[in-house]
Amino acid sequence: MKLSLAYFEQADAETPAYDPTTLELGVVHFGPGAFHRAHQAAYLDALAATDPRWGICGVSLHSTGVRDALNPQDGLYTLATLDEEIGYRIIASIREVLVGPENPEAVFERLLGCGIVTSTVTEKGYCLLADGALDFGHADIAHDLANPRAPKSFVGYVVEGLRQRRDCGKAPFVLIPCDNLPNNGKRLKAAVVALAARLDAELAAWIESGLACPCTMVDSITPATDDALRARVADAIGLHDAWPIQREAFTQWVIEDHVHDSGPDWASVGVILTDNVPAYERAKLRLLNGPHSTLAYAGLHKGYETVSQAMNDPELSGLVRDLMLKDVVPLLETPKGMDLPGYCEAILKRFRNPAIRHLLSQIAWDGSQKLPIRILSSLSEALAQGHDVSRLAVPLAAWMRFVRNKAVSGEPLADPMAADLIALGKGLTDTRADVAAFLAVRAVFPESLAGNPVFIAAVESAYDALLATESPVAA
């Protein structure tokens, strides 16, 4: 039997403590992928037990897969917690999934009726330049300027949704981005205002003064779903679930505290509200995501498949541990109540979690978008303070070899800059020329770094060390 409203109470799992059919669609979420379903939807599912206003309408901007899997299950799915303890929970907070391009009007109707808009559209989904400003050269943004009523980009949907609300005399929704971007709220609001300004100056002013767009930090390790998980969940709960989600037990959501009187009682479900999100977010992006990307590229180089396998290699676990504690921690402000060395040890333990198979190849996606945020941010500060940057250069060199090996093997590279990077990777010759060619990619390496001789020498030496240990298959 299939998981659905008719059968969920028979599942051998924790089931919703509320009647899913009574939920209102108070939240519109863009990008209802695995991370959203593991994280925000689980918090809102907990909230639904006491407040029915915050059911979710998910909006996919590209694929139909989530809609096709979840709508026949009445939006229900299983969240498997795979850690020291294993748990299965049926989540019912997603009440419908729309596919934007199929029916933009339906999305705008939901945007008119909701109170909160959230997003997990990945770093590239915000269409920002390396300096954080909206990229007006991006094809989707150019499209949205020409066709604002039928946009392609997330930012385009937000602008048109807000325009319709203003025209109906309604206040803006609260906009809460949930991707691993520094200052995500500030950047998103600036992007929305910038797009609106090109379309309607008054709308831009209305958004500027009225839109609350808090910064957030989100965290929970969520490997992609595979057939093994589907089989495991079916076995455990006794119902067939087309798209269960897996994650570790740890989960954290930090939201900038802002005045929103009639909003959800976030704190009641464990969300941390603070006026210092940047401190949390910098710590997480640089101490979790930075080491993650380091393990991904350096681990794939050594032939490992998963994070926990890479962590069992003393050289790699030593590298990320030193990178965290010796290179990054000294650069950070400690968020209130947090002990940074303790935070690092807890992250290393999470990376070792043997109960999940978190593929390094999944983390290796979109390196051109992730490395500036996760590694180059620390590296620039370390250089400015005269610290040694040899370890921080390792993930960069390993990414360069990763790109080169994809170019040579002809395997696809998952990256919005794939075409340029593959062309570059095909032409590589020797360390100096290779490193120079990568450092000339301005969308990744700013001029200030690319011209710095200490930085160049560090990357060249890390690159040399990798060449010396490259497996014959890749060479």
List residues binding ligand CS2 (CB under 6 A).
180, 219-221, 288-289, 292, 362-363, 370
- Identity of the residue, 34 or 207, whose beta carbon is nearer to ligand CS2 in the bound complex: 34
Least separation in angstroms between CB 347 and ligand CS2: 10
Closest-approach residue to ligand CS2 (CB):
292
First-to-last CA distance in the chain?
50
73 touches 2 (CB < 8 A): yes
Q: Give the CA dihedral 316, 318, 319, 324, nearest 10 degrees.
A: 130
Least separation in angstroms between CB 249 and ligand CS2: 13
**Cα–Cα distance between 111 and 175 in angstroms, integer?**
11
398 closest CA partner among 442, 457, 463, 461? 463
Least separation in angstroms between CB 376 and ligand CS2: 15
Beta bridge partners of 79: 89, 245
Q: Collapsing DSSP states into helix, strand and coil, what is residue 314?
A: helix
Least separation in angstroms between CB 223 and ligand CS2: 8
Least separation in angstroms between CB 306 and ligand CS2: 12
- Identity of the residue, 358 or 391, whose beta carbon is nearer to ligand CS2 in the bound complex: 358
Least separation in angstroms between CB 116 and ligand CS2: 21
Copy the structure tokens of residue 204: 């831009």
92 touches 16 (CB < 8 A): yes
Angle at 411 between CA 408 and CA 415, to 5 degrees: 105
- Identity of the residue, 159 or 254, whose beta carbon is nearer to ligand CS2 in the bound complex: 254
The amino acid that residue 159 corresponds to is V
Match 């991707």 to its residue by tokens: 179
Least separation in angstroms between CB 289 and ligand CS2: 4
Those residues whose C-beta lies under 8 Å from the C-beta of residue 462, and which sit 6 or more positions away, are 390, 393, 394, 396, 397, 398
89 touches 249 (CB < 8 A): no
- Identity of the residue, 210 or 270, whose beta carbon is nearer to ligand CS2 in the bound complex: 270
- Identity of the residue, 221 or 233, whose beta carbon is nearer to ligand CS2 in the bound complex: 221
- Cα–chain-centroid distance for residue 204? 27
- Identity of the residue, 184 or 220, whose beta carbon is nearer to ligand CS2 in the bound complex: 220
- Identity of the residue, 253 or 445, whose beta carbon is nearer to ligand CS2 in the bound complex: 253
Secondary structure element (H or E) that encloses residue 252, with its range: strand 252-256
